[in-house]
Amino acid sequence: MFLKDYILDVYNGVSSLLKGMRKTGYYFTHPKEIITEQYPDNRATLKLADRFKGEVIMPHDDNNEHACTGCTACEIACPNGTIKVVTKSEVNAEGKKKKAVDALVYRLELCTMCNLCVIACPSDAIKMAPNFEHSVFDRTKLTKILNQPGSKIREGIE
Amino acid sequence: MYNQTEVIKDTTELGPEGELVINMGPQHPATHGVLHLVVTLNGETIKKIEPHLGYIHRSIEKMCESLTYRQFIYVTSRMDYLSSHINNTACALLVEKGMQIEVPERAQYIRVILNELTRIASHELWLGAMAMDLGAFTPFFYAFREREMITDIMEDTCGARLTMNYIVPGGVMYDIHPEFQTKVKAFIKQFKEKVTEYEDLVTNNIIFQSRTKGVGVLSREDAISFGCTGPVARASGVSCDIRKIAPYDVYNKVEFDEVIETAGDSFARYMVRIKEMNQSIRIIEQLIDSIPEGEFVGKTKNVLKLPKGEFYQRVETARGEFGVYIVSEGGTTPHRIKFRSPGFSNLSALSHMAEGSKIGDLMATMGTLDLVIPDIDR
Amino acid sequence: MFSLEGITTATQDWLLIKFNPTIALAIECVIVILLSITLFAFLGLVLVLMERKVAARIQIRLGPNRVGPGGIFQTAADTLKLIMKEGLIPDNADKFLFNLAPFVVMMVAMLLLAPIAFAKNFQIWDINIGVLYISAISSLSVIGILMAGWASNNKYSLLGAMRSGAQIVSYELSAGFAVLTIVVLTGSLQISEIVAAQENGWWLFKGHIPVIIAFVLYIIAVTAETNRAPFDLAEAESELTAGFHTEYSGMKFALFFLAEYINIFIVCAIGATLFLGGWMPLHIGHWESFNHIMDYIPSSIWFMGKTFFLIFLIMWFRWTFPRLRVDQLLNLEWKYLLPISLFNLLLVTVIAIMGWHF
């Protein structure tokens, strides 16, 4: 009858609301559940994943040598023209003329971090570094030359 | 110079019968992107809604005509950015179908697990955003806590959190991270504990139920005639899950239910998505322990060229059926590419659903449609 | 033992010694005005920060924590920002009413401060119809809201103001009936007598079932009266009509904003006075030793504690529930709250006559 439905309606409504309040009340009284990371205060202990795609770098070893042969495979693989390889011709140890990389111009402002250049490289010369703080005041700083000055290719890389 | 009231009189529009025409958006907290709705009101009742699109059109389809078959996959991540893995899978499957590339089984398992994780992440974000539209601000943060676990898993394995670009024609780019399986299992455990929270706070809440039950009804015939797919159509009784109709990867080997409701109102659409999340968990549980050993990418040529002809591949994203259609002239780039976006057809049903209801119901209806505007505008 | 009553009597004696009674009264009025304005400013600062921190804790995050230790200067920074904004008046708006509306709302809030008893013998005006005065003055806030909506020359502001006006007027009925329950049990409208009648226990515990029902109805009704969620359709950001204070910016908007929080404080203070005993410590029947220990805590601390507990309850509602649609809101009042409060009034009258309360 009408009165029973009315009372049941009120009771069900109120109990559903109270259940919801209990859930939020639980979170109010348990501040340990807070998972906010207090960046930039925690820069010292911040740990990013190794594979995080922040920017492209060319790792150099202790003798200032890299593995890039100047084959321009990365330039061909890049979808929007972020990488431009400037090559020069130099004479190697056996006296033959070979192509070598002069500068690998990498424009960070255009990069979409799609990783296609890294998997296209046949000699594993470039990789992605987990660095995400790229803000600069001067836009020309975002055009980077990946091989360091005075570096040359390691032995035995083809 | 004009007085301000004279200017307003010239620019305030009235409809054909003198009703009020107002603009919602493109900047609006509730339209989930840049959507411009021109709403014709009669008092407080809605007579007609006309969406004006194109505010985020980036000519992706034209752009893809100058990208090779390895390069065009990353663009689809930017279309429906909440189901980026699923979009990438569609493109990779199309190229594999066209060039008859063999995909190793390990890669197929990884792809399906990532797809289902993406689906759960997309539904979590939808849940938070919809509750926020209706005025309940807290489920947003609880949903994002689960989504954070998923994006952490993605960050470890794929290297990025939103536009992952991990799936290539032939398989996946790298092997999975060594901790992938442990993290996914930990996520499943936490999800199962916390899913009751959404029930307490949102589903069983009497205010939420009275705001969504009976609102925005879409009948079965209308859903089919507008071309709606995904949860919108499944809530009206249309059985349209691509994973069941035309299974790809290892979907034919896993057991899961296709969730169908018949009421067709906003509450039914809400329940379909909640139950879909549970079904996705079920799929992941069946696959996570039995990933076979092997290669993670098949052998492909260096330069991919699709043979001359037309190719079409469709997948089930979180929003509905996503299709990729390529016309190839035999070169290294597609001659014409067309994406069938699920949001476009779902949005076209909005005017029909909201006719005759009040403005307050419009929010609930739009929330349950789950629109992502970059997907519609491409 | 610290007691505010001592400060007032000492000040009054000193003033009477120094000046003649009329000037002493005038100086006392000035002191009270200054104190109440300070109380408002301070309460505004504290309540806005409390809202943000409570919201953050419920949403598993930290609230404002950069400005000052633990974020305590956040509201001051926000107020400074609001003062520096341009106060724009729309072109065809009714200038006089447009400027007057925020002040009407603030004045109502200040007038309501008079009969509230903050501590023992620390009331500004102990009028013998205290409860009736509170009901009457709180109805005047509707005028301010309608003025704001009308004077903005914006059809959405007017729509929002109309809805808000209808909501406030409807829910005043239920609030009034809830308050009447306590009046029936006490037998007097005077605030000090209501508090004194709770000397052997608060009304929430003494008058059992009807007072608990009345308390729940009162909390729901005042949440709706102050336009708080889940009844905040009039000022919701994600709905179409943005409410009666759309056209206000700068300091006038800050006044509306502040007046809303002060209103919450006032209605919670009244609720604490009527249902939870005001400044009366927790006494249980005639357990003398227990009562004596409870008396050691100063009465102002009791009052503030109860009020802030009720404020926390209202904030808890806001961050848990979704919003009601306007027709569901009015439905709730006229079909559910009003019949239940009428029935409750009948019940409490029977209980008061038969003496079935403690």
Q: What is the pLDDT of residues B42-78, one digit of tens each?
A: 877 888 888 888 888 999 999 989 999 888 888 888 8
Nearest Cα residue to C180 out of C229, C221, C223: C221
DSSP string, B115-134: HHHHHHHHHHHHHHHHHHHT
Provide the shortest C-alpha distance from residue A135 to chain C (in Å): 22
> Among positive and negative, which fits the CA dihedral C264, C267, C273, C279?
positive
Instruction: Please state, in angstroms and rounded to a whole number, the distance separating the CA atoms of residues B157 and C152.
Output: 56
Of C57, C316, C336, the CB nearest to A31: C57
Buried/exposed code over A27-56 (b: 16+ C-beta within 10 A; e: otherwise): bbeeeeeeeeeeeeeeeeeeeebebbbbbb
pLDDT digits (tens, 9 = 90+) for A125-158: 888 888 888 889 998 888 888 877 766 776 666 6
Instruction: Please state, in angstroms and rounded to a whole number, the distance separating the CA atoms of residues A75 and A79.
Output: 9
Q: What pTM did the predictor assign?
A: 0.89
Of C232, C240, C328, the CB nearest to B210: C328
- Interchain proximity A112–B74, CB inside 8 Å: yes
Q: Residue B94 pLDDT > 50, yes or no?
A: yes
Question: Best residue in B4, B27, B37, B137 to probe C by mutation, most C CBs within 10 Å?
Answer: B137
Bridge partners for A143 per DSSP: A107
- Interchain proximity B156–A49, CB inside 8 Å: yes
Residue type, C185: L
Q: From C155, which residue of chain B is nearest by alpha-carbon distance?
A: B20
Do A31 and C56 meet the contact criterion of CB atoms below 8 Å apart?
no
Q: Which domain holds residue B130?
A: 61-377
- Residues in C touching B28 (Cβ below 8 Å): 238
Same domain, B15 and B137: no
Residue C320 token pair: 């848990």
C355 phi and psi angles, rounded to 5 deg: 75, 35
Tell me if the bond preceding C230 is cis, omega within 30° of 0. yes
Tell me the count of B-C CB pairs closer than 8 A.
72
Token look-up 């992605």 returns A128
Instruction: Please state, in angstroms and rounded to a whole number, the distance separating the CA atoms of residues B18 and B14.
Output: 5
- Residues in B touching C326 (Cβ below 8 Å): 360
- Of A13 and B6, more confident: A13
Quick one: pLDDT at residue B11?
Answer: 46
Q: Which chains touch B (3 or more CB pairs under 8 A)?
A: A, C
Of B135, B140, B207, the CB nearest to C236: B135
Instruction: Please state, in angstroms and rounded to a whole number, the distance separating the CA atoms of residues C164 and C228.
Output: 11
Token look-up 């597609």 returns B334
* Mean pLDDT, residues B117-124 taken together: 92
Contacts 24+ apart (CB under 8 A), C349-354: C349/C184, C351/C185, C351/C207, C351/C210, C352/C184, C352/C185
Same domain, B18 and B151: no
Provide the shortest C-alpha distance from residue B28 to chain C (in Å): 8
Quick one: pLDDT at residue B335?
Answer: 92
Q: Where is the domain boundary, B13, B28, B52?
A: B52
Q: What is the DSSP letter of C92?
A: T
Q: From C335, which residue of chain A is nearest by alpha-carbon distance?
A: A6
Residues 6+ apart with CB under 8 A from B300: B99, B101, B169, B170
Question: Best residue in A17, A26, A28, A41 to probe C by mutation, most C CBs within 10 Å?
Answer: A28
- Residues in A touching B159 (Cβ below 8 Å): 49, 51-53, 113, 115, 128
Instruction: Please state, in angstroms and rounded to a whole number, the distance separating the CA atoms of residues C172 and C180.
Output: 12
Residues 6+ apart with CB under 8 A from C277: C195, C198, C202, C203, C302, C306
Quick one: pLDDT at residue C236?
Answer: 66
Quick one: pLDDT at residue C21?
Answer: 81
Same domain, B321 and B221: yes
Distance (Å) of CA C291 to CA C208, C273, C277? 21, 19, 14
- Of C134 and A33, more confident: C134
Interface pTM, i.e. ipTM:
0.86
For chain C, how far is it from start to end, CA to CA, in angstroms? Answer: 31
Q: What is the pLDDT along chain C (358 residues), one digit of tens a residue?
A: 566 777 788 888 888 888 788 888 888 889 888 988 898 889 888 999 999 999 888 888 888 888 888 888 888 888 888 888 887 777 877 788 888 888 898 888 888 888 888 888 788 888 888 889 988 888 888 888 888 888 877 777 777 788 888 888 889 888 999 999 889 888 888 888 888 888 888 888 887 888 999 999 999 999 988 888 788 876 665 455 567 777 777 788 888 888 888 889 998 999 998 898 888 888 887 778 877 887 788 888 888 999 999 999 999 988 888 888 888 888 888 998 899 999 999 999 998 888 887 7
Quick one: pLDDT at residue B224?
Answer: 92
Chain C residues at the A interface, defined by Cβ less than 8 Å, are: 54, 57-62, 316-317, 319-321, 336, 340
- Residues in C touching A21 (Cβ below 8 Å): 316-317, 320
Q: Residue B2 pLDDT > 60, yes or no?
A: no
pLDDT digits (tens, 9 = 90+) for B223-267: 999 999 989 999 999 998 889 988 888 888 888 888 898 888 899
- Residues in C touching B136 (Cβ below 8 Å): 320-323
pLDDT digits (tens, 9 = 90+) for B300-329: 888 888 889 999 999 999 999 999 999 999
- Interchain proximity B145–A128, CB inside 8 Å: no
Provide the shortest C-alpha distance from residue B42 to chain C (in Å): 14
Do C160 and C239 meet the contact criterion of CB atoms below 8 Å apart?
no
- Interchain proximity B205–A116, CB inside 8 Å: no
Quick one: pLDDT at residue B30?
Answer: 60
Q: Residue B31 pLDDT > 70, yes or no?
A: no
Bridge partners for A89 per DSSP: A99
DSSP string, B267-297: HHHHHHHHHHHHHHHHHHHHHHTTPPPS-SB
CATH of the domain at B171: 1.10.645.10
Residues 6+ apart with CB under 8 A from C343: none
Token look-up 């709905």 returns C239
B346 phi and psi angles, rounded to 5 deg: -65, -35
Nearest Cα residue to A33 out of C62, B201, B303, C189: C62
Instruction: Please state, in angstroms and rounded to a whole number, the distance separating the CA atoms of residues A156 and C24.
Output: 101
Instruction: Please state, in angstroms and rounded to a whole number, the distance separating the CA atoms of residues B371 and B49.
Output: 15
Residues 6+ apart with CB under 8 A from C272: C278, C303, C306, C307, C309, C310
Do C286 and C200 meet the contact criterion of CB atoms below 8 Å apart?
yes
Please count the structural domains in chain B: 2
Instruction: Please state, in angstroms and rounded to a whole number, the distance separating the CA atoms of residues B140 and B120.
Output: 15
Instruction: Please state, in angstroms and rounded to a whole number, the distance separating the CA atoms of residues C262 and C254.
Output: 12
Residue B224 token pair: 């089919």
Q: From A11, which residue of chain B is nearest by alpha-carbon distance?
A: B206
The answer, for A30 touching chain B at a CB cutoff of 8 Å, is: no
- Residues in A touching C62 (Cβ below 8 Å): 34, 36, 38
pLDDT digits (tens, 9 = 90+) for A42-58: 888 888 888 888 888 88
Q: From C54, which residue of chain B is nearest by alpha-carbon distance?
A: B138
The answer, for A15 touching chain B at a CB cutoff of 8 Å, is: no
Is residue B242 helix, strand or coil?
helix
Is residue B10 helix, strand or coil?
helix
Do B304 and B196 meet the contact criterion of CB atoms below 8 Å apart?
no
Is residue B199 helix, strand or coil?
helix
Bridge partners for A84 per DSSP: A105
Tell me if the bond preceding B292 is cis, omega within 30° of 0. no
Of A23, A49, A53, the CB nearest to B200: A23
Of C59, C61, C316, the CB nearest to A21: C316
Opening angle at CA C323, ends C322 and C328, nearest 5:
125
- Residues in A touching B70 (Cβ below 8 Å): 77, 116
The answer, for C86 touching chain B at a CB cutoff of 8 Å, is: no
Residue C137 token pair: 């003055």
Q: Which chains touch A (3 or more CB pairs under 8 A)?
A: B, C
> Class assignment of domain A51-153?
alpha beta
Of B156, B165, B206, the CB nearest to A51: B156
- Residues in B touching A13 (Cβ below 8 Å): 206
Same domain, B353 and B280: yes
Do A107 and A142 meet the contact criterion of CB atoms below 8 Å apart?
yes
- Residues in A touching C336 (Cβ below 8 Å): 10
Residues 199-238 of C with CB under 8 A from B: 229-230, 232-233, 236-238
- Residues in B touching C91 (Cβ below 8 Å): 3-5
Of B72, B138, B159, the CB nearest to A115: B159
Instruction: Please state, in angstroms and rounded to a whole number, the distance separating the CA atoms of residues B4 and C248.
Output: 18
- Of B269 and A92, more confident: B269
Mean pLDDT of chain B: 86
- Our measurement of the distance from residue B188's CA atom to the centroid of its chain's CA atoms, rounded to an integer in Å, reads 22
User: Confidence band (pLDDT; 50, 70, 90) for A93?
Assistant: low
Residue B324 token pair: 């990729």
- Interchain proximity A49–B207, CB inside 8 Å: no
Provide the shortest C-alpha distance from residue A5 to chain C (in Å): 12
Is residue B315 helix, strand or coil?
strand
Opening angle at CA A136, ends A131 and A137, nearest 5:
175
Question: Best residue in C88, C155, C231, C238 to probe B by mutation, most B CBs within 10 Å?
Answer: C238
Nearest Cα residue to C183 out of C158, C159, C218: C218
Quick one: pLDDT at residue C239?
Answer: 57
Distance (Å) of CA B184 to CA A17, B187, C194? 33, 5, 61
Quick one: pLDDT at residue C245?
Answer: 72
Nearest Cα residue to C250 out of C85, C103, C105, C93: C85
Token look-up 């706070």 returns B201
User: Confidence band (pLDDT; 50, 70, 90) for B10?
Assistant: very low
Tell me if the bond preceding B139 is cis, omega within 30° of 0. no
Residue C3 CB-half CA count within 13 A: 12
Quick one: pLDDT at residue C124?
Answer: 83
Buried/exposed code over B109-122 (b: 16+ C-beta within 10 A; e: otherwise): bbbbbbbbbbbbbb
Q: What is the DSSP letter of A107?
A: E
Instruction: Please state, in angstroms and rounded to a whole number, the distance separating the CA atoms of residues A78 and A118.
Output: 10
